[in-house]
Amino acid sequence: MSTSPQPPANTGATTAPPAQRKTSDLVRAAMSGWLGTALEFMDFQLYSLAAGLVFSQLFFIGESPALAVVSAMATYAVGYLARPVGAWYFGRLGDRVGRTKVLFITIALMGGATTLIGALPTAHTIGIFAPILLAVLRLVQGFGAGAEISGAGVMLAEYAPTNRRGIIASLVALGTNCGTLGASAIWGVLVAVLSEEQLLAWGWRVPFLGSAVILLFAVWVRFRLKESPVFEESAHVSDGVALTTAEIREKAERENDEPMLEALGQNRWRAMIPAFLLRFGQAGNSGLLQTYMVSFITVTLAMSASVGTSVVIVSSLVAFVTVPIVGALGDKFGRRRMYQVMSVISLVLIVPTVMAIAGAQVPQLFLGYIVMHNVSVMALASLENLTLPEIFGSRHRYAATGVIREIAAMVATGIGPVVVAAWVAAASGSWIPIAIMLALFTICPLIGTFLMPEVAGRDLKDPRNAV
């Protein structure tokens, strides 16, 4: 196992202390990260629930119900194709000119595309152009979202006190929870108060158009946000802009900055592999439980649409307790150990919880979903939002965190629901494919922990990767 590199006692480098920030600045950064992440997951949960509940009837008409669901899930996956591109483009920009400027752009792109989805004509009106336009907006949405949650995680990690990073960065994970909860609650109300005809005629547009209110507030908060103190005072930054690689090397050689010289010669792939595995497992479980499972409950188990939305709402409420507890435990016992504990617990619980869900008895279904969702999705999200920025060095933290998050998400969350939907359909509605896929995803973070050192408490101005 690799050990985290430690800077020499005396390198000759002159490094300024982090820029001072008031408590109000930390609160504003936390609010910004929470709002942006909440909006991102609200946007995507609005779509994922719409894909499971109504989009198969609005944009994919003329197909069998099972095939229409698969098509709707495939369009959901389209958004993930643009996310790695957005993460790479905006992540590199964020590493060069700062976090705040990029986060302002990403939230505007992401939220604007979501609002426009609510204004789209359906296939009943314009035929094949309806799913094409839907896919285009999903691409724009994904392009902006690709650097959103990674940027929020980096910003909070670089703002927070070292011994409280886990609990403070868990606010990002709570943002995902709030977005999921808000979207699920909106859909729950719509399903409860509108007839199917009203829902298909106009009701489905309400949550997409209404998301513009949150977007405007989030943009206002971002406009007033100060830059990350770690970015401002890093050795490779001058006057708020990162130096070029040649300039960094010249400066490091002149000042005998051994950590920077070591960082320039590091193999970046060594850090990307464990980071990918951590993200891949959590993202895959999220896609199966928060996206596909709603369709499984509604279509395969033939239960009321309100059951699928209600179970997501209740589980999201429980996560308000799960997420900060796991974040605090990560501060106390370390990220690596907590990843191992939560992954093993998840593996043990997969079969009984999925069997409980597939039994189609409401109390058991709720219990099974809540337990598995909180252990295998929300607990890992609480750890992930901080662990990934801590793995990477200061020079490429934003880009590396964003790209690795989104490539893993594109493969796991984008493809996972499509694969399991097709597999369950081929297996005549069996729950076994779901359990197998959850196990495959869950074992990945466990493997990743054996390829990395403990990263809690790292100096985030260190330009070197932890691996």
CA-to-CA distance for 215 and 442, rounded, in angstroms?
Answer: 33
> Could you tell me where the DSSP H helices lie in 118-204?
123-126, 129-145, 148-159, 165-193, 196-198
Question: What number is the average pLDDT over the span 322-329?
Answer: 93
Q: Let me know: does 195 contact 172? Beta carbons within 8 Å.
A: no
- What is the identity of the amino acid at 441? F
Tokens matching residue 202: 């106009």
Q: 304-333 burial by CB neighbour count: b if 16+ within 10 A, else e? A: ebebbbbbbbbbbeebeebbbebbbbbbee
Average pLDDT, integer, range 272-293: 92
The confidence score (pLDDT) of residue 11 equals 37
Query: So what's the pLDDT on residue 303?
Result: 86
As a whole number, mean pLDDT of residues 388-393 equals: 93
Choice between 14 and 353, residue whose per-residue pLDDT is larger? 353
Question: To which residue do tokens 């809690």 refer?
Answer: 456
Q: What confidence score (pLDDT) does residue 389 get? A: 92
pLDDT band at 206 (very low <50, low <70, confident <90, very high): confident
- Looking at residue 165, its pLDDT comes to 87
Q: How far apart are CA 45 and CA 53, in angstroms?
A: 12
Give residue-wise pLDDT tens across range 145-176.
Answer: 888 888 888 888 888 888 888 888 887 778 87
Nearest Cα residue to 386 out of 35, 152, 93: 152
Q: How far apart are CA 418 and CA 292, in angstroms?
A: 8
Phi–psi pair at 237, nearest 5 degrees: -110, 135
How many Cβ atoms sit within 10 Å of the Cβ of residue 453?
Answer: 18
- Check pLDDT > 80 for residue 319: yes
Environment class of residue 117 by beta-carbon count within 10 Å: exposed (0-12), middle (13-18) or buried (19+)?
Answer: buried
pLDDT number for residue 365: 93
Query: Residue 396 above 80 pLDDT?
Result: yes
Q: Choose the CATH number for 23-233+265-449 among 1.20.1250.20, 3.40.50.720, 1.10.10.10, 3.40.50.1820.
A: 1.20.1250.20
Mean pLDDT of 76-95: 85
pLDDT tens digits for 295-306? 888 888 888 877
What three-state secondary structure class fits 241?
Answer: strand
Query: Which residues are within 8 A (CB) of 8 and not within 5 positions of it... i.e. 6 or more apart?
Result: 258, 259
pLDDT greater than 50 at residue 329: yes
CA–CA distances in Å: residue 54 to residues 108, 194, 201, 306, 310: 26, 13, 10, 13, 17
pLDDT at 18 over 50: no
Mean pLDDT for 398-406 is 92
Write out the two tokens for 315.
């589980």
Amino acid identity of 12?
G
- Per-residue pLDDT band at 357 (split at 50, 70, 90): very high
Query: pLDDT by residue (tens digit) across 430-445?
Result: 899 999 999 999 999 9
| Packed helices 165-193 and 205-223: angle between N→C axes, nearest 10 degrees | 150
The answer on pLDDT for 447 being more than 90 is: yes
Residue type, 430: S
Buried b (16+ CB within 10 A) or exposed e, 250-275: ebbeebebbbbbbbbebeeeebbebb
Contact in structure between 200 and 61 (CB atoms under 8 Å): no
User: For position 62, what pLDDT does the model report?
Assistant: 58
Mean residue pLDDT of the chain comes to 84
Assign 440 to helix, strand or coil.
Answer: helix
Three-state DSSP class for residue 59: coil
pLDDT given at position 21: 65
Share of the chain above pLDDT 70, in %: 91
Question: What is the band of 6 on the pLDDT scale with cuts at 50, 70, 90?
Answer: very low
| pLDDT of 52 over the 70 cut | no
Residue type, 151: G
